[in-house]
């Protein structure tokens, strides 16, 4: 599933190709993905793309008269094609531009989303409740400490709560907690300020490195066969059950916390 670094990598990959282009039409080969599509009758024709932003895992194609909100769901990916290129299986949507190019959305599992809003996208019901971005100045140790007071649940689901902070998926939560030396099972409300400062920094570090790795392996989005450049992740604990902890050499363990696989070192994290 695309997590925040993959979405940011996709944003950086497509933005230079889309800015300044004018939409000719929207081609929908299915009526809906996760929700009904805007439909080919939507008044997108003539909209110029001004920029591509990201909020959590939503891509925001800012246009002259509104914003296309795009979510890759579980399996979605985008690539740029010539408008007449025959669609392959699961090529559900084309955003066709007047210059003869098209942004093609392939989504095998159809959990993705494409929505149009003429209003401020940050006020959209999908976005309005979201917590701060992991890189926002306000998302620091003091913020996590304040938000966690009184919380008896484990710290891992706490930092994965999109209303607390966005973009910390299951993989990055395990990695950040390892770097911060925090046992993922600990109640969020029992962790002190200094440790939350380490955790906030670790979250930024892990995501920054993942985005940088995505950037170095990104494929050419203009390649018709291209898929987003999902980077090969340099993971220290995630998916490494039974392997040696890179810090102390003891075996990494895996347990389920709030229903999600969680990898950690019993010695280094407490």
Instruction: List, by residue number, the catalytic residues.
Output: 2-3, 57, 260
Pick the closer one to Zn ion by CB: 201 or 253.
253
CB atoms within 10 A of CB 146: 11
Interface residue with Zn ion among 247, 253, 254, 258 (CB under 5 A) is 247
Closest CA to 224 of 98, 101, 74, 70: 101
Report the nearest approach of Zn ion to the CB of residue 262 (Å).
15
Site string for Zn ion, 45-74 (x = CB under 5 A): ------------------------------
The answer to whether residue 26 forms part of the interface with Zn ion (CB under 5 A) is no
Stretch binding Zn ion (CB under 5 A), from 20-28, 166-174, 231-239, 260-268: 260-268
Instruction: Name the DSSP class of 15.
Output: H
Candidate segments 30-38, 81-89, 145-153, 237-245, binder of Zn ion by CB under 5 A: 237-245
Classify residue 123 by its DSSP letter: G
Distance from C-alpha of 215 to C-alpha of 231, rounded to nearest angstrom: 8
Give 126 or 247: the residue with its C-beta nearer to Zn ion: 247
- The structure tokens listed for 120 are 């401020």
- 55/151 Cα distance (integer angstroms): 26
What CA–CA distance (Å, rounded) separates 131 from 136?
10
Contact status, residue 180 vs residue 189, Cβ threshold 8 Å? no
- The yes or no reply on residue 245 touching Zn ion (CB under 5 A) is yes
Among 193, 227, 248, 270, binds Zn ion (CB under 5 A): 248
Nearer to Zn ion, 12 or 185 (CB): 185
Contact (CB, 8 A) for 62 and 70: no
As a residue count, the chain comes to 270
Minimum distance, C-beta of residue 244 to Zn ion, in the bound complex (Å)? 8
In three-state secondary structure terms, 175 is helix
CA-nearest of 231, 135, 259, 240 to 178 is: 240
Residue 67 or 262: the one with the smaller Cβ distance to Zn ion is 262
**Which two tokens mark 201?**
């920094």
Kindly tell me which of 220 and 244 has the beta carbon lying closer to Zn ion. 244
Q: Residue 265, interface with Zn ion (CB under 5 A)?
A: yes
CB of 81 to Zn ion, least distance (A): 47
30 binds Zn ion (CB under 5 A): no
Q: Measured between alpha carbons, how far is 114 from 124 in angstroms, rounded to an integer? A: 13
266 binds Zn ion (CB under 5 A): no
Stretch that binds Zn ion, among 110-118, 177-185, 218-226, 257-265 (CB under 5 A): 257-265
Residue 42, interface with Zn ion (CB under 5 A)?
no
> Does 267 sit near Zn ion (CB under 5 A)?
yes
Of residues 172-211, which lie at the interface with Zn ion (CB under 5 A)? none
How far, in Å, are 9, 111, 199, 202 from residue 2 at the CA level? 10, 12, 23, 20
Site for Zn ion in 112-131 (CB under 5 A): none
Binding site for Zn ion (CB under 5 A): 245, 247-248, 265, 267-268
């Amino acid at each position: 599933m695309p997590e925040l670094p993959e979405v940011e990598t996709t944003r950086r990959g497509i933005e230079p190709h889309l800015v300044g282009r004018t939409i000719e039409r929207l081609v929908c080969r299915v009526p809906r993905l996760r929700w009904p599509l805007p439909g080919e009758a939507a008044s997108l024709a003539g909209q110029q793309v001004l920029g591509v932003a990201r909020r959590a895992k939503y891509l925001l194609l800012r246009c002259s008269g509104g914003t296309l909100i795009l979510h890759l769901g579980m399996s979605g990916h985008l690539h740029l094609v010539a408008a007449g290129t025959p669609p392959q299986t699961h090529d559900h949507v084309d955003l066709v531009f007047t210059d003869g190019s098209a942004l093609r959305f392939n989504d095998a599992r159809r959990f993705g989303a494409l929505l149009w809003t003429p209003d401020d996208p940050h006020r959209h019901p999908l976005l309005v409740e979201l917590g701060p971005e992991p890189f926002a100045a306000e998302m620091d140790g003091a913020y996590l400490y304040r938000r966690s007071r009184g919380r008896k649940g484990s710290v891992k689901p706490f930092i994965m709560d999109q209303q607390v902070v966005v973009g910390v998926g299951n993989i990055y939560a395990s990695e950040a907690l390892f770097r911060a030396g925090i046992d993922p099972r600990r109640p969020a409300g029992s962790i002190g300020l200094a440790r939350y400062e380490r955790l906030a920094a670790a979250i930024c570090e892990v995501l920054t490195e993942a985005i940088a790795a995505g950037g170095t392996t990104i494929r050419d989005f203009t390649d018709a066969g291209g898929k987003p450049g999902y980077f090969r992740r340099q993971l220290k604990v995630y998916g490494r059950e039974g392997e040696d902890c890179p810090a102390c050499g003891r075996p990494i363990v895996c347990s389920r916390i709030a229903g999600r696989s969680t990898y950690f070192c019993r010695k280094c994290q407490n």
